[in-house]
Amino acid sequence: MDGSGYPQHLKGDEIPVAARLMAVADVYDALISRRVYKEGMSHDEAVAIMREGRGTHFDPDVLDAFLRIQDTFRCIAERYTDTETDMENKRSSLQLLQA
């Protein structure tokens, strides 16, 4: 919301609603998701970090809406989390690309 990271230094309501929504979804996913280079954090840890960004990184209204339905986000994330096989396939693909 403070304009950092947005083209033309848009701030607050100047930032398109779709971008404000996507900021919440994208950061949540980035924090909780395992990657080949990092473990994901817990839902509660991610939510705590996101609360700290309320009003600066995140639109307060959008973050408040997320907080009201955070259990839905948690369920969706758990449903689509990568399995060990998925992660191993990604590691193998990455190794092939680096060879």
Cα–Cα distance for residue pair 70/64, rounded to 1 Å: 10
Domain ranges of the chain: 7-98
Q: Which pLDDT belongs to residue 69?
A: 97
**pLDDT (tens digit, 9 = 90+) per residue, 32-46?**
999 888 999 999 999
DSSP track, 32-96 = H--BTTBPPPPHHHHHHHHHHTBTTTB-HHHHHHHHHTHHHHHHHHHHTPPPHHHHHHHHHHHHH
**pLDDT (tens digit, 9 = 90+) per residue, 9-68?**
788 888 999 999 999 999 999 999 998 889 999 999 999 999 999 999 999 999 999 999
CATH topology of domain 7-98: Hypothetical protein af1432 (1.10.3210)
- pTM (predicted TM-score): 0.83
Q: Which residue has the higher pLDDT, 58 or 3?
A: 58
